[in-house]
Amino acid sequence: MATATLPVSTTATTTATKAHKSFLQKIEGAPHTFASWFTKEWKKLYAAQPKIEQVADAVLKYAGPALQIAATAVAGAPGGAAVSAVLADAQTSIAAVSGLVADFGATPTAASVISGVQANLQQLLAAEKITNPQSQAAVEKVVTELEALGSAISAAVSAAQASASTPASTSSASSVAPVVDISVDQIPGTAVESGELVEKASAVQVLTQQ
């Protein structure tokens, strides 16, 4: 009897590909950022597109020391302790996001945490609590990087959700194994008309009873 070979679903692969492309388009479209530079340099070195996890990890590792530079520059200044506390909290959150992206890729949770850190840093700048020019420049740079990364992750999440919600195409009838109706008299070695099949069945029954 013929066996049917069902087609392998490509939904997961398509979803991941669309999400990856959306992510890279957002990153590459963010000019004058470390994120964009890293992506381009990666392609030069490896002649391949970096993965979401690799880009995110590089950007977040860049942001951590940049915030440390800002915190060091404001140390000892009026209000420096409060500013340093906010920057330290931002560093902790960035480290957490790095782990989330490494383990789960682009997710709404990662995008939300990045957005929260970005908002806190922007409030810090808006309140003019950072008076040191070096610290201001460092925090502004981190905000720009987080904005690019957060936007790219959100784009990847949206692309993945849109792709996953697209109804999967149903397999055609030809991919289903046909039901073959074979009558008994078509089987080689059987002869219903002569009663041989009945006699063979009776003989088997006798043997099994002994």
pLDDT single digits (tens) 163-173: 887 665 444 44
Domain assignment of residue 183, yes or no:
no
Question: Domain total for the chain?
Answer: 1
Q: How far is residue 41 from each of residues 51, 112, 191, measured CA to CA in Å?
A: 13, 28, 77
Domain assignment of residue 24, yes or no:
yes
Domain assignment of residue 198, yes or no:
no
Entry pTM = 0.71
Residue 114's closest CA among 89, 86, 94?
94
- Write out the residue range of the structural domain in which residue 19 sits: 11-165
Domain assignment of residue 137, yes or no:
yes
* 133-139: average pLDDT: 91
pLDDT-derived band at 66 (thresholds 50, 70, 90) equals: very high
3-state secondary structure 37-74: HHHHHHHHHHCCCCCHHHHHHHHHHHHHHHHHHHHHHH
Domain assignment of residue 105, yes or no:
yes
Kindly tell me if the per-residue pLDDT of 209 is higher than 80: no
Kindly tell me if the per-residue pLDDT of 194 is higher than 70: no
Task: Say how far apart CA 173 and CA 12 lie, in whole Å.
Answer: 23
Domain assignment of residue 93, yes or no:
yes
Residue 74's Cα: distance from chain center in Å?
37
pLDDT-derived band at 191 (thresholds 50, 70, 90) equals: very low
Domain assignment of residue 157, yes or no:
yes
Q: Do 21 and 159 meet the contact criterion of CB atoms below 8 Å apart?
A: yes
Domain assignment of residue 202, yes or no:
no
What is the pLDDT, as a whole number, of residue 45? Answer: 95
Residue 79's Cα: distance from chain center in Å?
40
What is the pLDDT, as a whole number, of residue 3? Answer: 55
Residues sharing a CB contact under 8 Å with residue 138, sequence separation 6 or more, in sequence order: 66, 67, 69, 70, 73
Tokens standing for residue 12: 């997961």
